């Protein structure tokens, strides 16, 4: 019975690994697209909007299949782990872009105007005035996206990456005890999501500005 | 801007050329497998007794042991790739794996996208009775008139329960569920049950072994039917090599032995 649990628990490292690739990758890409959408010219603005619309409209599993079965091996060579993690990161970047765009807009145009008025360049204003405020505002909705990506990471099992849920499925078939197997998986996911959200709450609390109660 | 476009176009062209030559030396997939010394085989390890994992994560089952023997005879190492059943055909089609064994049945739709080897096992149901059995079983449904034995939780158990017990033709108390088919065979010999429903191949083997038993009917009721290994479309050499090994394993009784081990014990 103990090896039963340890077999499922071993999938945790893979689940965390996929999330640790997908989330930061999505953050960098999403932040870039959010900035482009907010401060870019007409063409950049439109392309960023199209990017977000397209990616949020396609089921993640379809992107996974495209990247692994169609592109990988022809254009680039990706292992199932990387193909899966990067696809999830790309999907997540569209959602993170919208979160960050909302935060940028929430900071308001006045801050930008004021920064420019004291002689900062546009880039300086974004870097030193707008972004520090926007990123703080983005933490609570971003923690939502973090738990979604953590749970969506189970999709990589479609490519044969043996993460938590796939292992639970196998043991459910072997032992005929689906409640035990899926219950174990649910417990691990809960602990991971709980820990992530508490950590982000703490970060949000620690970095709070006196001007934003 | 124009210069950047030219550079991008050249990079794309270069990568296409590179990927085109990438395939390299081996003339066909069988050669490539032998050169690499390893065959990558996909399975969906959630379908016991054909393929599953034990508590320590090792793959076990009829297909697993059979494929290990096939790889051994091809003279290469076996690398398992576990995937959900739905992904297997796509993975074979795109050449991500060299073959897949996962209790696949032949269908025309599948055959258009990938190739099948010869059937390595024909999973049929059989009714075994004692040699002095006086009744008649013309149709499978006729067994409802007798005391029937079956292995607990098998496809035969499901067939009997859904088709005969559910509509009341076979009273629940006349259906005897056993942990192992060989135990049920002994009870059949002793007359505690009158008919035993089980997989055909192990039934033949056990009936011969125990004596005094005969098979009165066999066909596909709850069973899977013929099962084949799936390989990429057009890999004739690989197909032929595996077919030859399957033929050998059938002639040597290896597959029958596996069937007794996995479908009767």
Which residues of chain A neighbour B91 with C-beta distances below 8 Å? 69, 160
Q: Is the pLDDT of residue B17 over 50?
A: no
Question: Regarding beta strands B225-232 and B99-105, do their DSSP bridges make them parallel or antiparallel, or are they unpaired?
Answer: antiparallel
Which helix (H) or strand (E) segment is A162 a member of? none
Q: H-type helices in chain B, by residue range?
A: 2-22, 29-36, 62-74, 85-93, 108-113, 155-160, 181-190, 200-210, 236-251, 254-263
What CATH code would you report for B125-219? 3.40.190.10
> Which residues, 6 or more positions from A33, have their beta carbon under 8 angstroms from its beta carbon?
A48, A51, A52, A93, A94, A97
Size of interface A-B (CB pairs under 8 A): 62
Select from A143, A150, A147, A176 the least CA-distant residue to A165. Answer: A150
Q: Note the pLDDT tens digit of each residue in A24-54.
A: 999 999 999 999 999 999 999 999 999 999 9
C-alpha span between B94 and A22 (Å, rounded): 25
Given the structure tokens 């950590």, which residue do they identify? A199
Predicted local distance difference test score (pLDDT) of residue B5: 52
Interface test mutation site (partner A, options B20, B41, B45, max chain A beta carbons within 10 A): B45
| Alpha-carbon gap, residue B157 to B166, rounded angstroms | 12
Cβ contact, residue pair A174, B87, below 8 Å = no
Any residues with CB less than 8 A from the CB of A150 and at least 6 apart, and which?
A15, A19, A189, A192, A193, A196
Q: pTM here?
A: 0.81
Q: Average pLDDT for residues A122-145, to the nearest whole number?
A: 95
Q: Write down the ipTM of this complex.
A: 0.81
**Chain-centre distance for alpha carbon A15:** 13
> Residues in chain A whose beta carbon is closer than 8 A to a beta carbon of chain B?
1, 3-4, 7, 10, 65, 68-70, 73-75, 157-160, 162, 166-167, 169-176
pLDDT tens-digit map of B93-120:
999 999 999 999 998 889 999 999 999 9
Of the residues A174, A175, A181, A185, the best mutation for testing chain B's interface (the one with the most B CB atoms within 10 Å of its CB) is A174
How much is the pLDDT for B20? 46
Contact B193, B184 (CB under 8 A): yes
CA angle B150, A178, B161 (to 5 degrees): 25
Give me the residue spans of the domains in chain B. 28-123+225-263, 125-219
Nearest CA in chain B to A6: B56
Q: Which stretch of A3-7, A45-49, B67-71 has the lowest confidence by average pLDDT?
A: A3-7
Q: What pairs with residue B52 in β-bridges?
A: B60
pLDDT tens-digit series, residues B230-252: 999 999 999 999 999 999 999 99
Using an 8 Å Cβ cutoff, are B143 and B219 in contact? Answer: no
Would you tell me which residues 73-112 of chain B have a C-beta closer than 8 angstroms to some C-beta of chain A? Answer: 81-84, 86-87, 90-91, 93-96
How far apart, in whole angstroms, are the C-alpha atoms of residue A166 and residue B81? 13
Angle at B35 between CA B33 and CA B38, to 5 degrees: 45
Q: Considering only alpha carbons, which residue of chain A is nearest residue B90?
A: A69
Q: What confidence category does residue A21 fall into, taking pLDDT thresholds of 50, 70 and 90?
A: very high
Superfamily the domain B28-123+225-263 falls into: Periplasmic binding protein-like II (3.40.190.10)
CATH 1.10.3720.10 fits A14-162, yes or no: yes
What share of chain A has pLDDT > 70, as a percent? 98
Cα dihedral A180, A185, A186, A188 sign = positive
The distance of B122 to chain A (nearest Cα, Å) reads: 23
pLDDT in tens, B177-235: 998 888 899 999 999 999 999 999 889 888 888 889 999 999 999 888 899 999 999 99
CB contact under 8 A, B53 and A174: yes
Looking at residue B13, its pLDDT comes to 52
Residue B11 pLDDT class (50, 70, 90 cuts): low
């Amino acid at each position: 019975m103990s090896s039963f649990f340890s077999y499922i628990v071993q999938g945790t490292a893979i689940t965390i690994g996929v999330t640790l690739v997908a989330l930061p990758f999505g953050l960098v890409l999403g932040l870039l697209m959010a900035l482009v959408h907010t401060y870019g010219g007409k063409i950049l603005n439109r392309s960023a909007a199209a990017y977000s619309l397209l990616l949020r409209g396609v089921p993640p599993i379809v992107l996974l299949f495209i990247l692994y079965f169609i592109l990988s091996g022809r254009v680039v060579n990706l292992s199932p782990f990387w193909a899966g993690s990067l696809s999830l990161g790309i999907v997540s970047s569209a959602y993170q872009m919208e979160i960050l765009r909302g935060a940028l807009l929430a900071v308001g145009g006045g801050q930008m105007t004021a920064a420019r008025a004291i002689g900062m360049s546009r880039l300086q204003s974004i870097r030193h005035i707008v972004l520090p405020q926007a990123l703080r505002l983005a933490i609570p909705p971003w923690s939502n996206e973090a738990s979604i990506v953590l749970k969506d990471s189970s999709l990589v099992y479609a490519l044969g990456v043996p993460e938590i849920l796939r292992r639970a499925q196998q043991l459910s078939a072997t032992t005929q005890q689906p409640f035990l197997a899926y219950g174990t998986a649910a417990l691990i996911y809960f602990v991971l999501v709980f820990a992530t959200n508490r950590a982000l709450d703490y970060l949000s609390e620690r970095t709070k500005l006196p001007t934003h109660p | 801007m124009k210069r950047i476009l030219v550079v991008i176009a050249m990079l794309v062209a270069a990568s296409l050329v590179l990927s085109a030559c990438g395939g390299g030396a081996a003339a066909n997939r069988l050669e490539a497998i032998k050169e690499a010394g390893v065959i990558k085989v996909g399975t969906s390890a959630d379908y016991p007794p054909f393929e599953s994992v034990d508590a320590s994560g090792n793959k076990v089952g009829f297909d697993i042991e059979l494929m290990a023997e096939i790889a051994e005879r091809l003279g290469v190492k076996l690398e398992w790739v576990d995937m959900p059943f739905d992904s297997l055909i796509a993975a074979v089609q795109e050449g991500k794996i060299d073959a897949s064994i996962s209790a696949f049945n032949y269908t025309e739709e599948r055959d258009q996208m990938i190739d099948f080897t010869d059937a390595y096992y024909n999973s049929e149901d059989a009714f075994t009775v004692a040699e002095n059995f006086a009744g008649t079983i013309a149709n499978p449904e006729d067994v409802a008139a007798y005391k029937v034995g079956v292995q607990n939780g098998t496809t035969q158990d499901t067939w009997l329960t859904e088709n005969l017990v559910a509509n009341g033709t076979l009273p629940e108390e006349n259906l005897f569920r056993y942990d192992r088919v060989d135990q049920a065979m002994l009870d059949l010999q002793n007359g505690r049950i009158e008919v035993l429903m089980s997989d055909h191949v192990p039934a033949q083997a056990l009936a011969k072994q125990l004596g005094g038993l005969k098979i009165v009917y066999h066909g596909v009721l709850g069973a899977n039917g013929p099962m084949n290994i799936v390989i990429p479309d057009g890999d004739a050499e690989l197909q032929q090599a595996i077919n030859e090994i399957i033929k050998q394993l059938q002639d040597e009784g290896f597959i029958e032995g596996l069937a007794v081990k996995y479908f009767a014990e």
